[in-house]
A and B are shown apart, each in its own frame.
Chain A
Amino acid sequence: MDSILFLIFAAIAVACAVNLVLQKHPISSALSLIGVMGSLAALYLLLGGEFIAAAQLIVYAGAIMVLFVFVIMLLNAGTENVEHKRLWSRYLGVPLLVALLGFVGYIVQKVLPLSEGVRFGTFRNGSPLEIGKALFTSYLLPFEVTSVLILVAILGAIVLARGEVD
């Protein structure tokens, strides 16, 4: 059952990612990216990451993608011009990509034994309680530094988007 669920969501994720790369219009790419993020959230749940799955849906698929779609709408971004790719990139790109992935897959299969697998429910440290404990004890300093980072990002975004920068 676990592997069937994995295969379903992995297939959705890969199909949406391929669609993201191939689509000519940015809004189609954005919707495909939302599909990737949703199926990845399901995979996080299978791995026992309840908090991360919820954060993935809320932060990524919710907030960040709304920002993307909003900017696409604001700039009225249209279809991309199909430019002439170089000959070698058109004919060598996909085979090289497949070769690289085959190599990586072979290495990973070799290093990790097939015997130990992911079973839903065996990893119980992904709950908000455990995450919060780790976040506010051993990772307290990075967490606080992150708040400064967010503040800087807000100020930077406001200053940049206000205009008169040239």
Chain B
Amino acid sequence: MPALPSSTPLSWYLILSAILFALGVAGFLFRRNIITVFMSIELMLNAVNLSFITFSYKLKQVDGHIFSFFVMVVAAAEAAVGLAIILTVFKNRQTLEIDEVSSLKD
């Protein structure tokens, strides 16, 4: 077993961010429950935040932190509106399956 480096390579953080983002995309594409699809979007936002913080560390600047702070704020607003939309859809259709809510497609 190779010895672990004394300091974590920056690339590990970026690869972890890529893995989390890819899993979020997979959940977004394959899940059929609208709430789970929404949670996959949150997972993707989190992965992007990790990239921001990592690059902020590399460039020794605070701007990445500010950006991920704004991402959090937008995610909170998005969650409030999105969940309200989900509530309305459920009230009108009595379903959470995204395949059955497709009137915009027809």
Interfacial residues, chain A to chain B (CB-CB below 8 A): 2-4, 6-7, 10, 13-14, 17-18, 20-21, 26, 29-30, 33, 36-37, 40, 43-44, 46-49, 51-52, 55-56, 59-60, 63-64, 67-68, 71-72, 74-75, 77, 80-81, 83, 85, 89, 93, 97, 100-101, 104-105, 108-109, 111-112, 114, 116-119, 123, 125-126, 130-131, 134-135, 139, 142, 146, 149-150, 152-154, 156-158, 160-161, 163, 165-166
Contact = CB atoms under 8 A, between A and B. Distances in A.
B70 to A, nearest CB: 6
Contact of B76 (A47, A63, A142): A63
B30 A93 contact: yes
A75 B87 CA distance: 8
Nearest to B32: A80
23 contacts: A2-B7, A3-B8, A4-B4, A6-B13, A7-B4, A21-B30, A37-B46, A43-B13, A43-B16, A43-B50, A49-B68, A60-B72, A81-B97, A83-B32, A85-B30, A101-B22, A108-B11, A112-B14, A118-B9, A134-B66, A149-B73, A156-B81, A160-B84
Given A3-B5, A52-B53, A112-B11, A77 B96 contact: yes
Contacts, number: 238
Chain A: interface secondary structure?
helix
B72 A55 contact: yes
Instruction: Indicate the member of B56, B79, B85 with the most A CB atoms within 10 Å.
Output: B79
A166 B92 contact: yes
Interface string B32-48: 11011011101100100
A68 B12 contact: no
Given A130-B62, A161-B88, A33 B9 contact: no
A118 B8 contact: yes
A117 B61 CA distance: 16
Given A59-B76, A60-B75, A160 B88 contact: yes
Contacts of B88: 160-161, 163, 165
Nearest to A5: B8
Interface residues of B, number: 71
A-B pairs with lowest CB-CB distance, top 4: A117-B7, A153-B77, A160-B84, A157-B84
Interface string B15-26: 110111011101
A25 B19 CA distance: 23
B22 A33 contact: no
